[in-house]
Amino acid sequence: MKVLIVGGGNTLYFLCRAFTAKGHDVIVVNRDKAECERLARGLAATVVFGDGSDPKILREAGAMGADVVLAITPHDQDNLVICQLARLQHGVPRALALANDPENAEVFQKLGVAAFSTAAIIASLIEQRASVDRITNLLPVAEGRVNVTEILLDASSPVVGRLLKDISLPESALVAVVIRGEQTLIPRGNSELQAGDRVVLMTLPENHGPVLRVLTGEQG
């Protein structure tokens, strides 16, 4: 695969190393001469000095034959133009832009350019992992209108040892599956929850928090 990356800094350097290590052809376009020299010494990639949003530079860099173009400069407007030129002028099948401002990810989408936001990805990873270790957000369904969440019940949970029908869950919430060791149970009202159970919950966003508090006993 031939990958053309426009940008600089550590992200570009380590991305290039990852791609070349897997045997891909990598071309780097960077507008800083000193950084170009450093990159050319340290990477098994072709390094082109110039403005990647300049149609002439893109052509010289060989955008025409690239399979993927990645635009990861610190300026969203440059990333947009790079991807549009690559797609429309050079017929590159896939172009992906970095949205430095997470709010711009949506703008890229509406303008027909695929984009990702590292800030948004990291924030959501931290939210999922750091808030409560025992809770994993499995997936949002229907654009986030339904949450599917997995919770590990430990001995301190107030619902351990109780029957499902005796636990007063807020409305619009469902204990869908209980995973107990090797067993997978579809629970009924007279199923008892035990410590170590992994409970798969379906909730609506408005009562997601209250349902979690009932099952973990934590105030949050």
| Residues of this chain that bind another protein (CB under 8 A) | 53-56, 75-78, 80-81, 84-85, 88-89, 101, 103-104, 107, 110-111
Task: Give the separation between CA 2 and CA 14, rounded to whole angstroms.
Answer: 17
The distance of closest approach from Cβ of residue 68 to another protein in the complex, given in angstroms and rounded to an integer, is 20
Please answer whether residues 51 and 31 qualify as being in contact, where contact means their C-beta atoms are separated by less than 8 angstroms.
yes
Quick one: tokens of 160?
Answer: 């351990």
Residue 62 CB, nearest approach to another protein (Å): 17
Please report how close the Cβ of residue 150 comes to another protein at its closest, in angstroms.
Answer: 35
The DSSP output letter for 89 is I
Residues with Cβ < 8 Å from 199, sequence gap 6 or more? 150, 151, 152, 153, 175, 177, 178, 179, 193, 215
Give least dist CB 118 to another protein, A. Answer: 18
* Nearer of residues 107 and 177 to another protein, judged by Cβ: 107
The rounded distance, in Å, linking the Cα atoms of 51 and 130 is: 40
- DSSP code string of 108-133: HHHTT-EEE-HHHHHHHHHHHHHS-T
Q: Which is nearer to another protein, 45 or 113 (CB)?
A: 113
Question: What 3-state DSSP class applies to 95?
Answer: strand
Q: Which is nearer to another protein, 77 or 131 (CB)?
A: 77
CB 61 within 8 A of CB 47: no
Tokens coding 148: 């599917």
Nearest distance in Å: CB 218, another protein: 35
The smaller minimum CB distance to another protein, of residues 104 and 149, is found at: 104
CB of residue 180 to another protein, shortest distance in Å: 48
SS3 content of the chain, % helix, strand, coil (to 5): 40, 25, 35
Nearer to another protein, 106 or 154 (CB): 106
* Residue closer to another protein (CB basis): 87 or 208: 87
